[in-house]
Chains A and B, each alone.
Chain A
């Protein structure tokens, strides 16, 4: 099976940088994705990493180390609107056309 671990809660102040870590265990790993979900809303896609390294998209960056089965989401210049839950998800050969989601990290941005 697959398992993912990420912190349940993270708190940071506006303008700061925060890193949300995700470790996973899976066979036949394909890629690691990140999704954002505001309270009462739908998950929205942020990024996908299949290769080692850092991918940057505006204020958000995502990193993957396949050898360490580890990735993180980096949020810079935090804004109040970034308060949300962030989910990492793995795609893997056992079920390549579906994602297995972590339990989510609740990010609270304080003024």
Chain B
């Protein structure tokens, strides 16, 4: 398996624009997670899915953020409109174990810069 695949690797956009981040989890992993990493706040969970269903989105900062998982092999995280404070590295991760006992596999991340 190629691992968790995220695109794009880097994204630079202007404030107010819509940004869409994409993720392909590892085949067979039933859990998909979106994390955001910043120096100030560390690794924060934004939302996670189990069998394509959103389970907990309490970490989503505000209504500008939305996430979907239309099928087992694809998920998107959308920010509309984007703001400079959204600048961060966004990671997607997948797992087959409910408690992380087999580990989460993270994608390479998308480095988002909003100017």
Contact = CB atoms under 8 A, between A and B. Distances in A.
A43 B91 contact: yes
A48 B42 contact: no
Contact of B98 (A48, A97, A101, A103): A97
Interface residues of B, number: 23
Interface string B92-115: 010000111111111111000000
A44 B106 contact: yes
A104 B99 contact: no
Contacts of A98: 33, 45, 48, 56, 100
Looking at B42, B55, B107, B109, the one whose CB has the most chain A CB atoms below 10 A away is B42
A47 to B, nearest CB: 9
B43 A97 contact: no
Interface of B: 31, 33, 42-43, 45, 48, 50, 55-56, 91, 93, 98-109
Interface string A67-111: 000000000000000000001010100011111111110000000
A104 B98 contact: no
- Which 6 residue pairs across A and B have the least CB separation, nearest first? A45-B103, A42-B106, A101-B43, A91-B99, A103-B42, A48-B101
Contacts, number: 58
A14 to B, nearest CB: 27
B108 A41 contact: yes
Nearest to B105: A45
Nearest to A99: B100
A30 B42 CA distance: 22
Contacts of B42: 101-104
Interface in A19-56: 30-31, 33, 35, 41-45, 48, 50
